[in-house]
């Protein structure tokens, strides 16, 4: 896959996930939180993150989809797969691959808040702050990146490249 330029190496990813895990452990140890993985992009991140969290927790999966074919998020989000558990009174941490406009997570957090969790926070591996249009509070951010389309470590372009062990920039000529 030579058309992908490395932006964040495997080593950098793992070192930063160590730090995030340390912060999350300090905040959540003993609360038995529910970590919500947003499919599919966050699968690699939640797998590496939770293996560094040395306390009881639960893992849940959600799948959401924006309406339409556009690569721009519309902010109108459909829940394709919902949680298997009731989160009322639980400490919930949403685990996301990347926040771009923020519209997807803004919708998701609004929706989950109506279920009355004890707390609701977000950890995202990547963030493109220059693209943010939605008001969104993110508790933990792995890396802030420039406004470039990235793939790998769970992130795809047309379902390709998720299996790269690093985060890279897709060369448009590729
Ligand atoms: P938002 O609603 O604009 O924040 O969109 C977030 C979603 O768009 C992410 O969960 C990804 O699925 C997708 N996305 C945004 N930027 C990228 C990118 O650079 N590469 C791959 N997917 C992206
Ligand atoms: Mg996503």
**Mean predicted confidence (pLDDT) in 101-126:** 96
Higher pLDDT, 172 or 2: 172
172 part of a folded domain: no
Q: In the prediction, which pLDDT does 169 show?
A: 97
| Residue 99 Cβ contacting ligand 1 at under 6 Å | yes
Q: In the prediction, which pLDDT does 155 show?
A: 97
Q: In the prediction, which pLDDT does 117 show?
A: 98
Q: Whose CA is nearest to atom 12 of ligand 1?
A: 41
Cα-to-centroid distance, 58 and ligand 2 (Å): 20
Q: In the prediction, which pLDDT does 67 show?
A: 59
The pTM of this model reads 0.94
Q: In the prediction, which pLDDT does 65 show?
A: 84
How many independent structural domains does the chain possess?
Answer: 1
2 part of a folded domain: no
Q: For ligand 1, what atom is nearest to the CA of residue 156?
A: 21
What is the percent of the chain with per-residue pLDDT over 70, rounded to a whole number?
Answer: 91
169 part of a folded domain: no
Distance CA 55, CA 30 (A): 7
Cα-to-centroid distance, 37 and ligand 2 (Å): 9
What's the mean pLDDT when you consider all of the chain?
A: 93
| Residue 149 Cβ contacting ligand 1 at under 6 Å | yes
163 part of a folded domain: no
pLDDT digits (tens, 9 = 90+) for 126-139: 999 998 888 899 99
Classify residue 52 by burial, with Cβ atoms within 10 Å: 0-12, 13-18, 19+.
middle
Q: Whose CA is nearest to atom 10 of ligand 1?
A: 98
Q: What is the CATH number of the domain that holds 112?
A: 3.40.50.2020
Q: Whose CA is nearest to atom 5 of ligand 1?
A: 100
- Two tokens, residue 143: 């890396």
The answer to whether 89 and 116 are in contact (CB under 8 A) is yes
Higher pLDDT, 36 or 71: 36
Cα-to-centroid distance, 100 and ligand 1 (Å): 5
96: closest CA among 127, 51, 65?
127
pLDDT band at 72 (very low <50, low <70, confident <90, very high): low
76 part of a folded domain: yes
Cα-to-centroid distance, 122 and ligand 2 (Å): 13
Q: Which of 9-13, 58-62, 128-132 has the lowest mean pLDDT?
A: 128-132
Q: In the prediction, which pLDDT does 135 show?
A: 87
Residue 73, domain extent? 10-147
Q: Which residues contact 14 (CB under 8 A, 6 or more apart)?
A: 48
Q: In the prediction, which pLDDT does 115 show?
A: 98
157 part of a folded domain: no
**Catalytic, out of 86, 100, 156, 171:** 100
Q: Three-state SS string across the chain, please?
A: CCCEEEEECHHHHHHHHHHHHHHHHHHHCCCCCEEEEEECCCHHHHHHHHCCCCCCCEEEEEEEEECCCCCCCCCCEEEEECCCCCCCCCEEEEEEEEECCCHHHHHHHHHHHCCCCCEEEEEEEEECHHHCCCCCCCCEEEEECCCCCEEECCECECCECCCCCCEEEECCCC
123 part of a folded domain: yes
Q: In the prediction, which pLDDT does 70 show?
A: 58
88 part of a folded domain: yes
């Amino acid at each position: 896959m030579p058309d992908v330029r490395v932006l964040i190496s495997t080593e950098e990813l793992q070192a930063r996930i160590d730090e995030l895990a340390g912060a999350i452990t300090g905040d959540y140890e003993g609360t038995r939180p529910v970590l919500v993985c947003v499919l599919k992009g966050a699968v690699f991140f939640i797998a590496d993150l939770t293996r560094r969290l040395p306390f009881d927790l639960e893992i849940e999966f959600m799948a959401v989809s924006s309406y339409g074919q556009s690569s721009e998020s519309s902010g109108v989000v459909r829940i394709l797969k919902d949680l298997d558990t009731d989160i009322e009174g639980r400490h919930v941490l949403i685990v996301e691959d990347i926040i771009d406009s923020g519209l997807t997570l803004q919708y998701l957090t609004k929706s989950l808040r109506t279920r009355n969790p004890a707390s609701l926070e977000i950890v995202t591996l990547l963030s493109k702050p220059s693209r943010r249009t939605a008001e969104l509070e993110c508790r933990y951010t792995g890396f802030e990146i420039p406004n470039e389309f990235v793939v790998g470590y769970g992130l795809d372009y047309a379902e390709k490249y998720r299996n790269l062990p690093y985060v890279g920039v897709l060369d448009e000529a590729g």
